[in-house]
Amino acid sequence: MGKFISYLKTKSFRNNLIAAVLTVMILLFAAFYSLRYYTKHGQGIDVPALKGLSFTQAAGKLEELGLKYEVDSVYIMDTPPGTVIDQDPDARTFVKDNRTIYLTVSMNTAPDVKFPDVEFKSLRQAQAIIESFGLKLGDTSYKPDVSRDVVLEANFGGQPIKAGQTVRKGSKIDFVLGDGKGNEEVDIPMLIGLTRDEASFAIKSGAMLSIGTITWEGPIADSATAVVIRQDPMITDTLTKVRIGTPVNITLSNKK
């Protein structure tokens, strides 16, 4: 033990200790600056705001900044195809160059969904159900039924659609609803001399009837100015009322 203590007091030990400390300091200094060089400490890029841009615009910005990107697609209703709807990292995030930015872009085509069961649901319930499936409410019409504002039929593209059938997400669905009046009768409207739009309004909104067959007579120079020259049913001495929802057939012509 005495020899060891004596050795600690020697010049040789002091020189070795100083050499060891200097060596450790040099190694730590070299490692620190090597790490700074490797990671480019203090150097980086602010991620640009890409949401709302087209994919082409977003990709161009990233390439100019030396950033890479990967793309995922998702369908968002009412969003133009090819639009960036999300990004990771967020805008103004500080990253190193050559970092990968993950983009979520809206799809060009909507996926198919199975049409839900809305029959005999109230209008409010049925609308909430189809919207949860990514569908939209289109037109509503009424037919005689004791139930009011209850879905009796759903149509897509003019054709009935049933639960389980596939339809493109974002499609508009038309509902036929009960009017709550059953077999109540209404006055037959006089349509002669009305344009097609005027007659349609009088039939559907004014009298709560439905539009039947529309025919044209003679050369039609302008369909917008053509007027009704015949209707069926027509008001007569013995017929003035029909049941709600009854179809009314009309013939239009440009003849005076």
- Per residue in 3-31, pLDDT tens? 656 655 676 766 776 777 778 788 777 76
Distance CA 112, CA 135 (A): 10
Domain at 185-253: CATH code: 3.30.10.20
Q: Which long-range contacts (CB under 8 A, 24 or more apart) does 48-53 make?
A: 48/91, 49/91, 49/92, 50/84, 50/87, 50/91, 50/101, 50/103, 51/84, 51/85, 51/86, 51/87, 51/91, 52/83, 52/84, 53/83, 53/84
Higher per-residue pLDDT: 79 or 55 = 55
Confidence of residue 1 (pLDDT cuts 50, 70, 90): low
What CA–CA distance (Å, rounded) separates 2 from 87?
Answer: 71
Q: Where are the domains of the chain?
A: 2-39, 45-106, 112-179, 185-253
Task: Decide if 45-106 and 112-179 have a common fold.
Answer: yes
Q: Which fold has domain 112-179?
A: Trypsin Inhibitor V; Chain A (3.30.10)
Whole-number average pLDDT of the chain: 85
Contact 163, 126 (CB under 8 A): no
What is the arithmetic mean of pLDDT over 82-90?
Answer: 92
Closest of 72, 55, 65, 73 to residue 93, by C-alpha: 65
* Element housing 8 (H / E): helix 2-8
pLDDT value at residue 130: 96
Instruction: Please enumerate in sequence order all residues whose Cβ is within 8 A of that of 141, keeping only pairs 6 or more positions apart, or say none.
Output: 174, 175, 176, 177, 204, 210
Whether 115 shows a pLDDT value over 80: the answer reads yes
d(C-alpha 56, C-alpha 61), whole Å: 9
CATH of domain 45-106: 3.30.10.20
pLDDT by residue (tens digit) across 180-238? 776 678 889 999 999 999 999 998 877 778 889 999 998 888 888 899 999 999 988 88
Of the chain, the percentage scoring pLDDT greater than 70 comes to: 88
- The predicted-structure confidence for 125-148, as pLDDT tens digits, reads as follows 999 999 999 999 999 998 877 788
With helix as H, strand as E and coil as C, how does 155-189 read? Answer: EECCEECCCCCEEECCCEEEEEEEECCCCCEEECC
The pTM of this model reads 0.46
